[in-house]
């Protein structure tokens, strides 16, 4: 199963991605986690990414596609993977499609979208900011991240809908209930394609 997770900052991509990775026994690649690790390590890549991340803007396509290609080339992604936070604009989506061809991998099966309204997103992120102190979980940066999402990432919903790959879910409520809805829909969709 090759899954892309789509949705606004704070919608639960990381939370649900961890569940799906566990349930399907496939690796989850979070570009946000990888970039934060690079920033913490003060690597060259991290130093290049930090200003954009602190401002709530996208890091350059070149940096993130490099990270993703390196990860997808690893043997443990051969049976599937979950991409959390990538692609984030149409250029990255097209690069991903080409990258999978280049790596001899099958195309993305599903884009899983989590719907959460903005007031709830802001509340979740501010709350995490207070508890965990993540650098970009402050009101000003949260607003930039939401704007970037609306302008650059939201159009990907159409990109994947046109390919009949989009599965959209209500992302509010109990985490395990959301996870169960995802697993059920992904299982049904898998059974449907097997029967065609
Ligand atoms: P990234 O780390 O991907 O951040 P994000 O998209 O803003 O998403 P978050 O991690 O904040 O939220 P999430 O949707 O994963 O939700 P989560 O499960 O954590 O990216 C950070 C930055 O890196 C970007 O701004 C950009 O600069 C850069 N970047 C990353 N990828 C890039 C790319 N491809 N191209 C360019 N730049 C890139 O949940 C959020 C909170 O809500 C948690 O506290 C959680 O416990 C809680 N929560 C989850 N589910 C529920 C629920 N059902 N009910 C109540 N609370 C819940």
Say yes or no: CB of residue 129 within 6 Å of ligand 1: no
Report how far residue 150's alpha carbon sits from residue 63's, in angstroms, rounded to the nearest whole number: 22
pLDDT score, position 109: 97
**Which residues, listed in sequence order, are joined to residue 2 by a DSSP beta bridge?**
81
Strands 166-170 and 110-115: parallel
Distance 152 CA to ligand 1 centre (A): 15
Q: Is 7 in the pocket of ligand 1 (CB under 6 A)?
A: yes
**Omega before 54 cis (within 30°)?**
no
Q: What is the pLDDT of residue 1?
A: 94
- The predicted pLDDT at position 196 comes to 55
Please tell me the distance from the alpha carbon of residue 111 to that of residue 96, in angstroms, as a whole number.
Answer: 13
If one counts every other C-beta atom within 10 angstroms of the C-beta of residue 147, the result is 12
Indicate if the pLDDT at residue 130 is higher than 80. Answer: yes
Q: pLDDT tens, 24-36?
A: 999 999 999 999 9
> Residue 196 and residue 192: Cα distance in Å, rounded?
7
128 is annotated as an active-site residue:
yes
- Ligand 1: does its nearest atom lie under 6 Å from the Cβ of 64? yes
Confidence at residue 194, expressed as pLDDT on a 0 to 100 scale? 60
The single residue of 134, 143, 150, 190 carrying the catalytic annotation is 134
Q: State the Cα–Cα distance between residues 45 and 48, nearest whole angstrom.
A: 5
> Does residue 190 surpass a pLDDT of 80?
no
CA diameter of the chain:
50
- The rounded mean pLDDT for the chain is 96
Catalytic residue check, 165: no
Ligand 1 atom closest to the Cα of residue 171 is 53
Q: What is the mean pLDDT of residues 128-134?
A: 97
């Amino acid at each position: 199963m090759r899954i892309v997770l789509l949705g606004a900052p704070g919608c639960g991509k990381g939370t649900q991605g961890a569940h799906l990775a566990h349930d399907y026994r496939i690796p989850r690649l979070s570009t946000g986690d990888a970039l934060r690790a690079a920033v913490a390590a003060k690597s060259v890549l991290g130093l290049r990414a930090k200003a954009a991340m602190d401002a709530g803007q996208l890091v350059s396509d070149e940096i993130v596609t490099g990270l993703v290609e390196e990860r997808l080339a690893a043997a443990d992604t051969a049976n599937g993977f979950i991409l959390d936070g990538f692609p984030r604009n149409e250029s990255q989506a097209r690069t991903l499609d080409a990258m999978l061809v280049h790596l001899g991998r099958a195309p993305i099966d599903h884009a899983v979208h989590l719907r959460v309204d903005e007031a709830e997103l802001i509340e979740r992120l501010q709350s995490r900011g207070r508890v965990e102190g993540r650098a970009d979980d402050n009101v000003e940066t949260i607003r930039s991240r939401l704007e970037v999402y609306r302008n650059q990432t939201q159009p990907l919903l159409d990109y994947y809908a046109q390919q009949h790959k989009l599965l959209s879910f209500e992302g509010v409520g109990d985490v395990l209930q959301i996870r169960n809805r995802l697993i059920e829909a992904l299982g049904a969709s898998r059974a449907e394609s097997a029967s065609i």
